[in-house]
A and B are shown apart, each in its own frame.
Chain A
Amino acid sequence: MKLVVEHPRAGQVAGEAEFVNGKLWIHLNGRTICIDTEEKASRSKGKKGKNLGVVAPMPGKVTKILKSVEDSVLTGDPVLVMEAMKMEYTLKSDKDGQLKELFCKVGDQVPLGKLLAKVES
């Protein structure tokens, strides 16, 4: 919906705003802003450094697993390969340690945020 607000100093501010699936989307001064209060809260929690190994950064398909359980891995080592939107992405470990468990197999369609491989130091 079109929204016009009256700012005490800047005067009238006009833009478009709409909730889509729980997130507030705003188009204002030539840019689009997405406000997601849940995401903000979780992101600040994530910053505490809770690295687990490999987490799916997008929904997609697992196409190759490069490490086996009990392999030792270093931060940045490729662990598995995913395909999303027709592009291939190599997912790397975010910590040093030993690969403890795999939560996917080749061919699995995995959701965003799923823990795919657990690495323990």
Chain B
Amino acid sequence: MKFKRIAIANRGEVAVRIIRACEELGIETVLLHSEADVGTRAYRLADKKICIGPAPTAESYLNIEANVNGALAGGAEAIHPGFGFLSENSHFARKVIEAGLVFIGPSPEATETLGDKVSCKNLAKKLGLPLVPGYEGEDQSVEKLISEAEAIGYPVIVKAAAGGGGRGMKILKNFSEARELIESAQREALSAFGSSKVFLERYLDRAKHIEFQIFGDATGKVVHLFDRECSVQRRHQKIIEEALSPSLTVDLRKRMGECAVAITQAAHYRGAGTVEFLLQDGQFYLMEVNTRLQVEHPVTEEVLGVDLVKAQILTAQGDPVFIDRAVFQPRGHSIECRLYAENPYLGGVPSTGMLGRVHFPEGPRRRFEYGFESGDEITPYYDPMISKVIVWDETRSRAIQKMIRVLKDTTVFGVHTNIPYLIEILSHPEFIQGKMTTRFIETYFAQPIAEPSLTDAEKFFVEEAQRRVPRAGTQNLTSSSASIGDEVSAVWMKSWRGV
């Protein structure tokens, strides 16, 4: 069957990404959005839009019934869940199917087997794949979890069983902080994924995060589309990703790729998915499987010349994908930077408000995935990622050099962004040598970066601008961006370093 209309149960840049793929395939789109997301690029680009609830995610983007009803009301035949929100919720996938719609993603059974980290580990064990030592039992009492953490040996990482994206994850360094952090992880897990279930793992303290993109086609065949490295993470949230990883030998790449295909093939996986590994001292451990498209999928697309979102849609229609065998020959190097709305000079405190000028410097093999434009508001309700910048070049060092220039030429006014932070990371010797581990950020960037002082010429420019630029530039009368009271700035300067 060929879809005529697809509903998008997501927001921001990924909703735009899906709309573009649909447009190219001649498919109409219905955007299922919250009340807060009327002023976004996806809203302006979608063919139809249906409001599914108020701003809080529990009442809109995480509301299964509202999303299914919205898709039906919009006349869609299929739902693309994007990433985050309901994308890895098998209950949602079931409801979509029960309503007579196609869920663009794996079957609910595959999501349950692989997405639940505990059952995923059980499957990996059965297949003899390497795992990190840990506890994934049903007894979720804090006492039991603490005693298991003791048995595994600190440091121990607590993770949400249903989670991803760094939410509900905490590292226990010793007994004294175990209780507070386990409870906090359970609360975050409940709030972000609707289940407070957590599990424990030994925390590998100098590991690299390597993941393999896998894809199951409509005939049931699973292939891998090579690897990405995402070792640059802060609070378990990825910041910079690249393809391919600079850390793999030919032999490791082959063995890890086979491992990624083995576990997903065993679960009869369909569509795009990712198998995440930790690599430490030449040993790799299977960490988890993300049963959805990843935020960082564009770097794989750039080195292989594929369109993963289109491939997802075609597979859901029962059509063949990756017909050209040349897609299995990676070329060059691609890097993605996530632009977050935060203040890098204050340790990453979220920055909300209305966007002024937004400008991305176009050029060959530069790609900008963004969900907000000038006049749109960055609200505190959702993830702080406002866009992604992706570059490709023939070598890794040229890709780094290119990314730095592109970031310098990118303008976002109205909210602070992490661009200065990204540039410092990209310029760090350990990153340039490709030696970074998942502790790279906490080791070198634990403190807020220093705001460089202005040169005389720059000060002169600022003074001139204050005189010559009209004050009534971009303004939003309904904006809630409060002016900062005198007590707050002192707190900002201190307390944000520790969180």
Instruction: Show the binding face of A for B, using Cβ within 8 Å.
Output: 1, 3, 5, 7, 9-10, 13, 15-22, 24-35, 38-39, 42-43, 45-47, 49-52, 54-60, 63-64, 76, 78, 81, 83-92, 94, 111-113, 115
Contacts and interface: CB of A to CB of B under 8 A. Distances in A.
Given A84-B380, A113-B487, A20 B354 contact: yes
Interface string B156-184: 00000000001100000000000010001
B191 interface: yes
Interface stretch (B122-130, B265-273, B474-482): B474-482
B326 interface: no
A27 B382 contact: no
A94 B494 contact: yes
Nearest to B404: A30
A64 B187 contact: yes
Nearest to A34: B416
Contacts of B355: 20
Given A31-B419, A87-B188, A87-B235, 14 more contacts: A5-B460, A13-B461, A16-B411, A19-B471, A21-B476, A32-B417, A32-B420, A38-B483, A39-B484, A42-B486, A46-B493, A58-B350, A85-B381, A86-B167
A35 B419 CA distance: 17
A46 B354 contact: no
Contacts of A42: 484-486, 489
Given A39-B484, A85-B384, A87-B167, A24 B466 contact: yes
Nearest to A31: B420
B352 A59 contact: yes
Contacts of B192: 86
Contacts of A58: 349-350, 352, 380
28 contacts: A1-B470, A3-B461, A3-B465, A16-B413, A20-B356, A20-B413, A21-B414, A21-B474, A26-B465, A27-B411, A31-B419, A32-B413, A32-B420, A35-B462, A35-B465, A52-B487, A54-B491, A59-B352, A59-B380, A60-B380, A63-B187, A81-B187, A86-B192, A88-B184, A91-B495, A94-B494, A111-B482, A112-B482
Nearest to B459: A7
Nearest to A90: B499
Interface in B330-365: 349-350, 352-357, 359
Contact of B462 (A19, A21, A30, A33): A33
Interface of B: 57, 166-167, 180, 184, 187-188, 191-192, 235, 349-350, 352-357, 359, 380-384, 408-409, 411-414, 416-417, 419-420, 452, 454-458, 460-462, 464-466, 468-476, 479-496, 498-499
Contact of A47 (B359, B460, B490): B490
A49 B499 CA distance: 21
Given A3-B461, A25-B356, A59 B495 contact: no
B414 A25 contact: yes
B461 A18 contact: no
